[in-house]
Structure 1
Amino acid sequence: MRLASMPAPTSLAMPVADIKRGAIRDTWHAPRAPGRRHEGIDIFAKRGTPVLASTEGIVLSRGDNSLGGNVVWVLGPSGQRHYYAHLDQPAVVVRGERVQVGTLLGYVGNTGNAKTTPPHLHYGVYTSGGAINPYPLLAKKQSAN
Protein backbone atom coordinates (compact mmCIF):
# COMPACT_ATOMS: atom_id res chain seq x y z
CA MET A 1 0.00 0.00 0.00
CA ARG A 2 2.84 2.37 0.84
CA LEU A 3 4.37 1.95 -2.65
CA ALA A 4 1.08 2.77 -4.37
CA SER A 5 0.66 5.95 -2.34
CA MET A 6 4.19 7.20 -3.00
CA PRO A 7 4.65 9.75 -5.80
CA ALA A 8 6.24 8.66 -9.06
CA PRO A 9 10.00 9.15 -8.90
CA THR A 10 11.52 12.16 -10.64
CA SER A 11 14.88 10.37 -10.95
CA LEU A 12 16.02 6.75 -10.85
CA ALA A 13 19.20 4.94 -9.88
CA MET A 14 21.23 3.50 -12.76
CA PRO A 15 20.12 -0.12 -13.27
CA VAL A 16 23.48 -1.34 -14.65
CA ALA A 17 26.50 -1.42 -12.35
CA ASP A 18 29.43 0.84 -13.20
CA ILE A 19 27.60 2.73 -15.96
CA LYS A 20 27.80 6.52 -15.70
CA ARG A 21 24.76 8.66 -16.52
CA GLY A 22 26.62 10.36 -19.36
CA ALA A 23 27.28 7.00 -21.04
CA ILE A 24 23.64 6.15 -21.73
CA ARG A 25 21.76 7.14 -24.87
CA ASP A 26 18.08 7.81 -25.41
CA THR A 27 16.82 4.95 -27.60
CA TRP A 28 13.15 5.58 -26.72
CA HIS A 29 10.75 5.06 -29.64
CA ALA A 30 13.47 3.99 -32.08
CA PRO A 31 11.89 1.94 -34.90
CA ARG A 32 11.67 -1.81 -34.36
CA ALA A 33 10.40 -4.54 -36.68
CA PRO A 34 7.62 -5.23 -37.52
CA GLY A 35 6.31 -1.66 -37.23
CA ARG A 36 6.87 -1.42 -33.47
CA ARG A 37 8.54 1.35 -31.51
CA HIS A 38 11.14 0.80 -28.78
CA GLU A 39 9.38 1.17 -25.41
CA GLY A 40 12.42 1.63 -23.24
CA ILE A 41 16.11 2.28 -23.51
CA ASP A 42 19.04 -0.04 -24.10
CA ILE A 43 22.01 0.22 -21.77
CA PHE A 44 25.01 -1.57 -23.28
CA ALA A 45 27.52 -3.23 -20.99
CA LYS A 46 29.76 -6.26 -20.81
CA ARG A 47 27.93 -9.60 -20.53
CA GLY A 48 27.55 -10.52 -16.88
CA THR A 49 27.55 -6.96 -15.55
CA PRO A 50 25.15 -6.81 -12.58
CA VAL A 51 21.65 -5.42 -13.20
CA LEU A 52 20.33 -3.61 -10.13
CA ALA A 53 16.92 -2.41 -9.02
CA SER A 54 16.55 1.25 -9.99
CA THR A 55 13.89 1.82 -7.33
CA GLU A 56 12.47 0.14 -4.29
CA GLY A 57 9.58 -2.17 -4.99
CA ILE A 58 8.12 -5.65 -5.08
CA VAL A 59 9.08 -8.32 -7.63
CA LEU A 60 6.00 -8.93 -9.78
CA SER A 61 7.54 -11.71 -11.83
CA ARG A 62 10.72 -13.33 -13.04
CA GLY A 63 10.64 -15.40 -16.19
CA ASP A 64 11.12 -15.64 -19.91
CA ASN A 65 9.30 -14.24 -22.93
CA SER A 66 9.99 -14.15 -26.67
CA LEU A 67 10.88 -10.45 -26.93
CA GLY A 68 12.66 -9.83 -23.63
CA GLY A 69 14.20 -13.25 -23.03
CA ASN A 70 15.03 -13.53 -19.34
CA VAL A 71 13.13 -10.74 -17.60
CA VAL A 72 12.29 -9.35 -14.17
CA TRP A 73 9.34 -7.03 -13.47
CA VAL A 74 9.33 -4.83 -10.34
CA LEU A 75 6.35 -2.85 -9.05
CA GLY A 76 7.66 0.50 -7.82
CA PRO A 77 6.33 3.74 -6.34
CA SER A 78 3.06 5.11 -7.72
CA GLY A 79 2.27 1.74 -9.27
CA GLN A 80 4.94 2.07 -11.96
CA ARG A 81 6.20 -1.22 -13.35
CA HIS A 82 9.92 -1.50 -14.11
CA TYR A 83 10.97 -3.98 -16.79
CA TYR A 84 14.49 -5.45 -16.92
CA ALA A 85 14.97 -7.54 -20.09
CA HIS A 86 17.55 -9.54 -22.09
CA LEU A 87 19.18 -10.74 -18.87
CA ASP A 88 21.91 -13.34 -19.31
CA GLN A 89 20.41 -14.82 -16.18
CA PRO A 90 18.09 -13.42 -13.57
CA ALA A 91 19.18 -13.34 -9.96
CA VAL A 92 17.42 -15.45 -7.38
CA VAL A 93 14.54 -13.08 -6.71
CA VAL A 94 11.01 -14.37 -6.33
CA ARG A 95 7.53 -13.01 -6.87
CA GLY A 96 6.45 -10.90 -3.90
CA GLU A 97 10.00 -10.22 -2.70
CA ARG A 98 10.70 -6.66 -1.56
CA VAL A 99 13.70 -5.06 -3.20
CA GLN A 100 15.59 -1.87 -2.47
CA VAL A 101 17.53 0.40 -4.80
CA GLY A 102 20.61 -1.59 -5.77
CA THR A 103 19.19 -5.08 -5.17
CA LEU A 104 20.72 -7.54 -7.66
CA LEU A 105 18.09 -8.56 -10.24
CA GLY A 106 20.27 -10.32 -12.81
CA TYR A 107 23.11 -9.89 -15.26
CA VAL A 108 23.41 -8.13 -18.62
CA GLY A 109 22.91 -10.42 -21.61
CA ASN A 110 21.23 -10.63 -25.00
CA THR A 111 18.41 -13.13 -24.60
CA GLY A 112 15.04 -13.02 -26.36
CA ASN A 113 14.91 -11.04 -29.58
CA ALA A 114 18.33 -9.50 -28.79
CA LYS A 115 20.29 -12.67 -29.69
CA THR A 116 22.07 -10.90 -32.56
CA THR A 117 22.93 -7.72 -30.65
CA PRO A 118 25.73 -6.90 -28.22
CA PRO A 119 24.85 -7.57 -24.56
CA HIS A 120 22.65 -4.91 -23.00
CA LEU A 121 19.84 -4.27 -20.56
CA HIS A 122 16.53 -3.23 -22.07
CA TYR A 123 14.97 -1.08 -19.34
CA GLY A 124 11.36 0.04 -19.51
CA VAL A 125 8.98 1.88 -17.20
CA TYR A 126 5.21 1.43 -17.49
CA THR A 127 2.41 3.42 -15.89
CA SER A 128 -1.34 2.84 -15.99
CA GLY A 129 -1.28 4.95 -19.18
CA GLY A 130 1.40 2.84 -20.90
CA ALA A 131 5.14 3.04 -21.42
CA ILE A 132 7.06 6.19 -20.55
CA ASN A 133 10.58 7.17 -21.55
CA PRO A 134 12.95 6.21 -18.70
CA TYR A 135 15.89 8.15 -20.16
CA PRO A 136 15.10 11.52 -18.51
CA LEU A 137 14.65 9.75 -15.16
CA LEU A 138 18.00 7.97 -15.46
CA ALA A 139 19.88 10.94 -16.93
CA LYS A 140 18.89 13.17 -14.00
CA LYS A 141 21.05 12.93 -10.91
CA GLN A 142 19.15 11.17 -8.17
CA SER A 143 18.26 13.40 -5.25
CA ALA A 144 19.29 12.36 -1.75
CA ASN A 145 16.41 11.21 0.41
Structure 2
Amino acid sequence: MTYPPATDPVRPSPLRWLLPAVVVVTAWLAWPWVQPLVERAIYAGRLAAMPVPEVLPVPVQGVAKRALRDTWGVARGGGRRHEGIDIFATRGRPVLSATEGIVTRTGTNRLGGNVVWVMGPGRQMHYYAHLDRHGDVKPGDRVAPGAVLGYVGDTGNARGTPPHLHYGVYTGSGAINPFPLLTADR
Protein backbone atom coordinates (compact mmCIF):
# COMPACT_ATOMS: atom_id res chain seq x y z
CA MET A 1 0.00 0.00 0.00
CA THR A 2 1.32 3.41 -0.90
CA TYR A 3 0.47 6.63 0.77
CA PRO A 4 0.45 10.08 -0.77
CA PRO A 5 3.53 12.07 -0.04
CA ALA A 6 3.50 14.10 3.15
CA THR A 7 2.72 17.79 2.65
CA ASP A 8 3.43 20.78 4.75
CA PRO A 9 0.57 21.74 7.07
CA VAL A 10 -1.52 24.65 5.85
CA ARG A 11 -0.18 27.80 7.39
CA PRO A 12 -2.72 30.34 8.62
CA SER A 13 -2.78 33.63 6.84
CA PRO A 14 -0.92 36.40 8.62
CA LEU A 15 -4.13 38.51 8.24
CA ARG A 16 -6.35 36.07 10.19
CA TRP A 17 -6.75 38.68 12.95
CA LEU A 18 -8.12 41.34 10.56
CA LEU A 19 -11.81 40.31 10.44
CA PRO A 20 -12.20 39.93 14.23
CA ALA A 21 -10.43 43.27 14.73
CA VAL A 22 -12.75 45.01 12.26
CA VAL A 23 -15.81 43.53 14.04
CA VAL A 24 -14.54 44.65 17.47
CA VAL A 25 -13.69 48.19 16.30
CA THR A 26 -17.03 48.55 14.47
CA ALA A 27 -18.97 47.39 17.54
CA TRP A 28 -17.00 49.75 19.78
CA LEU A 29 -17.61 52.73 17.48
CA ALA A 30 -21.33 51.90 17.02
CA TRP A 31 -22.05 51.33 20.73
CA PRO A 32 -23.27 54.89 21.48
CA TRP A 33 -26.05 54.39 18.89
CA VAL A 34 -26.68 50.70 19.60
CA GLN A 35 -26.74 50.88 23.42
CA PRO A 36 -30.09 52.76 23.72
CA LEU A 37 -31.72 50.25 21.34
CA VAL A 38 -30.39 47.30 23.34
CA GLU A 39 -31.49 48.87 26.64
CA ARG A 40 -34.96 49.65 25.22
CA ALA A 41 -35.34 46.07 23.97
CA ILE A 42 -34.34 44.67 27.37
CA TYR A 43 -36.78 47.00 29.15
CA ALA A 44 -39.58 46.11 26.69
CA GLY A 45 -38.98 42.44 27.48
CA ARG A 46 -39.14 43.14 31.22
CA LEU A 47 -42.37 45.13 30.76
CA ALA A 48 -43.95 42.34 28.72
CA ALA A 49 -43.13 39.82 31.45
CA MET A 50 -44.66 41.94 34.24
CA PRO A 51 -48.18 41.15 35.41
CA VAL A 52 -50.91 43.46 34.16
CA PRO A 53 -52.08 45.99 36.75
CA GLU A 54 -55.20 45.17 38.75
CA VAL A 55 -55.58 48.79 39.91
CA LEU A 56 -54.71 51.99 38.03
CA PRO A 57 -54.53 55.59 39.24
CA VAL A 58 -56.75 58.18 37.55
CA PRO A 59 -54.59 59.53 34.71
CA VAL A 60 -55.73 63.16 35.04
CA GLN A 61 -54.11 65.24 37.76
CA GLY A 62 -56.53 66.22 40.50
CA VAL A 63 -59.49 64.08 39.37
CA ALA A 64 -60.77 61.73 42.09
CA LYS A 65 -61.92 58.25 41.19
CA ARG A 66 -65.38 59.03 42.63
CA ALA A 67 -65.77 61.65 39.84
CA LEU A 68 -65.39 59.01 37.09
CA ARG A 69 -68.35 57.76 35.07
CA ASP A 70 -68.32 54.49 33.16
CA THR A 71 -68.75 55.48 29.50
CA TRP A 72 -67.47 52.12 28.20
CA GLY A 73 -69.55 50.65 25.38
CA VAL A 74 -71.74 53.72 24.82
CA ALA A 75 -72.93 53.93 21.20
CA ARG A 76 -70.94 56.18 18.88
CA GLY A 77 -71.54 57.26 15.30
CA GLY A 78 -71.08 54.79 12.48
CA GLY A 79 -72.12 51.78 14.56
CA ARG A 80 -69.05 52.05 16.80
CA ARG A 81 -68.97 51.52 20.55
CA HIS A 82 -66.91 53.60 22.98
CA GLU A 83 -63.70 51.67 23.74
CA GLY A 84 -62.56 53.56 26.81
CA ILE A 85 -63.82 56.10 29.28
CA ASP A 86 -63.99 59.86 29.15
CA ILE A 87 -62.49 61.72 32.09
CA PHE A 88 -63.77 65.30 32.16
CA ALA A 89 -61.53 68.05 33.54
CA THR A 90 -60.56 71.64 32.84
CA ARG A 91 -58.67 72.30 29.62
CA GLY A 92 -54.91 72.15 30.11
CA ARG A 93 -54.96 69.93 33.21
CA PRO A 94 -52.00 67.48 33.09
CA VAL A 95 -52.63 63.98 31.76
CA LEU A 96 -50.42 61.49 33.60
CA SER A 97 -49.16 58.05 32.65
CA ALA A 98 -51.17 55.46 34.57
CA THR A 99 -48.29 52.97 34.44
CA GLU A 100 -44.62 52.76 33.80
CA GLY A 101 -43.86 52.00 30.20
CA ILE A 102 -42.49 52.99 26.84
CA VAL A 103 -44.07 55.69 24.69
CA THR A 104 -44.75 53.88 21.42
CA ARG A 105 -46.50 56.65 19.51
CA THR A 106 -47.34 60.33 19.70
CA GLY A 107 -49.16 62.33 17.08
CA THR A 108 -52.65 62.94 15.79
CA ASN A 109 -55.45 60.92 14.28
CA ARG A 110 -58.94 61.69 13.03
CA LEU A 111 -60.90 60.39 16.03
CA GLY A 112 -58.49 60.98 18.91
CA GLY A 113 -56.92 64.25 17.82
CA ASN A 114 -53.64 64.63 19.72
CA VAL A 115 -52.79 61.20 21.14
CA VAL A 116 -50.12 59.33 23.08
CA TRP A 117 -49.76 55.53 23.25
CA VAL A 118 -47.79 53.87 26.08
CA MET A 119 -46.92 50.17 26.27
CA GLY A 120 -47.24 49.19 29.92
CA PRO A 121 -46.82 46.00 31.95
CA GLY A 122 -48.05 42.80 30.34
CA ARG A 123 -47.84 44.48 26.90
CA GLN A 124 -51.06 46.38 27.53
CA MET A 125 -51.36 49.49 25.40
CA HIS A 126 -52.64 52.64 27.13
CA TYR A 127 -54.25 55.21 24.83
CA TYR A 128 -54.56 58.89 25.82
CA ALA A 129 -56.64 60.95 23.36
CA HIS A 130 -58.19 64.40 22.75
CA LEU A 131 -55.12 66.08 24.26
CA ASP A 132 -54.93 69.86 23.96
CA ARG A 133 -51.20 69.36 23.40
CA HIS A 134 -48.56 66.71 23.99
CA GLY A 135 -46.20 66.72 26.94
CA ASP A 136 -42.44 66.51 26.51
CA VAL A 137 -42.49 62.85 25.38
CA LYS A 138 -41.58 61.12 22.16
CA PRO A 139 -41.67 57.53 20.90
CA GLY A 140 -39.05 55.40 22.63
CA ASP A 141 -39.11 57.38 25.88
CA ARG A 142 -39.42 55.42 29.11
CA VAL A 143 -42.03 56.90 31.42
CA ALA A 144 -42.74 56.37 35.09
CA PRO A 145 -46.22 56.32 36.56
CA GLY A 146 -47.34 59.94 36.90
CA ALA A 147 -45.17 61.27 34.04
CA VAL A 148 -46.89 64.10 32.14
CA LEU A 149 -47.94 62.84 28.70
CA GLY A 150 -50.05 65.81 27.65
CA TYR A 151 -52.86 68.11 28.67
CA VAL A 152 -56.66 67.72 28.65
CA GLY A 153 -58.37 69.09 25.55
CA ASP A 154 -61.04 68.43 22.95
CA THR A 155 -59.12 67.59 19.77
CA GLY A 156 -60.20 65.08 17.12
CA ASN A 157 -63.85 64.11 17.07
CA ALA A 158 -64.29 65.69 20.52
CA ARG A 159 -64.09 69.21 19.05
CA GLY A 160 -66.85 71.29 20.60
CA THR A 161 -67.45 68.97 23.58
CA PRO A 162 -66.35 69.75 27.15
CA PRO A 163 -62.60 69.12 27.52
CA HIS A 164 -61.78 65.56 28.55
CA LEU A 165 -59.32 62.72 28.27
CA HIS A 166 -60.38 59.63 26.40
CA TYR A 167 -58.49 56.81 28.13
CA GLY A 168 -58.39 53.33 26.64
CA VAL A 169 -56.57 50.10 27.51
CA TYR A 170 -55.89 47.49 24.83
CA THR A 171 -54.66 43.91 25.10
CA GLY A 172 -53.75 41.41 22.42
CA SER A 173 -57.43 40.44 22.43
CA GLY A 174 -58.76 43.97 22.01
CA ALA A 175 -60.01 46.81 24.20
CA ILE A 176 -60.90 46.30 27.86
CA ASN A 177 -62.95 48.54 30.13
CA PRO A 178 -60.54 50.65 32.24
CA PHE A 179 -63.30 51.88 34.58
CA PRO A 180 -63.08 48.92 37.04
CA LEU A 181 -59.26 49.29 37.17
CA LEU A 182 -59.48 53.02 37.87
CA THR A 183 -62.14 52.69 40.58
CA ALA A 184 -60.84 49.56 42.36
CA ASP A 185 -59.78 49.87 45.98
CA ARG A 186 -56.08 49.70 46.45
TM-score range, shorter chain: over 0.9
Structure 1: which 5+ residue stretches go unaligned? Answer: none
- Any unmatched runs of 5+ in structure 2? 1-44
- Which position in structure 1 is the counterpart of 2:131? 87
2:171 counterpart of 1:130:
no
Q: C-alpha distance in 2, partners of 1:141/1:43? A: 18
- Which of 1 and 2 has greater Rg? 2
Q: Is 1:141 matched with 2:185?
A: yes
1:33: which partner in 2? Answer: 77
Identity %: 63
TM-score (norm 1): 0.97
Structure 2 residue corresponding to 1:114, chosen from 148, 158, 163: 158
Alpha-carbon offset, residue 92 of structure 1: 1.4
CA RMSD of the aligned region, Å?
0.6
What one-letter code is carried by the residue in structure 2 that aligns with 1:81? M
One-letter identity of the residue aligned with 2:99: T
The structural deviation recorded for 1:140 is 1.1
Paired residue for 1:69? Answer: 113
Match of residue 22 from structure 1: 66
In the alignment, which residue of structure 2 is the partner of 1:53?
A: 97
* Cα shift at 1:141: 3.1
- Write the deviation string for residues 93-141 of structure 1: whole angstroms up to 9, x where unpaired: 0111000110000000000000021000000000000000000000013
Residue in structure 1 matched with residue 33 of structure 2 by the alignment: none
Deviations 1:59-87 (A, max 9, x none): 00100000000000000000000000000
Q: Provide the rounded CA distance (Å) in 1 between the counterparts of 2:163 and 2:106.
A: 19
Q: Judging by fraction of residues, say which structure has more strand.
A: 1
**SS of the residue 1:121 aligns to:** strand
Choose between structure 1 and 2: higher helix proportion.
2
Instruction: Number of aligned residue pairs: give it.
Output: 142
**TM-score (normalised: structure 2):** 0.75
Equivalent position SS for 1:72: strand
Q: Counterparts of 1:86 and 1:64 in 2: how far apart (Å)?
A: 9
Counterpart of 1:41, as a letter, is I
AA of the residue aligned to 1:126: Y
**Relative contact order, CA 8 A, sep 6+: which one is greater?**
1
How many angstroms apart in 2 are the aligned matches of 1:73 and 1:93?
11
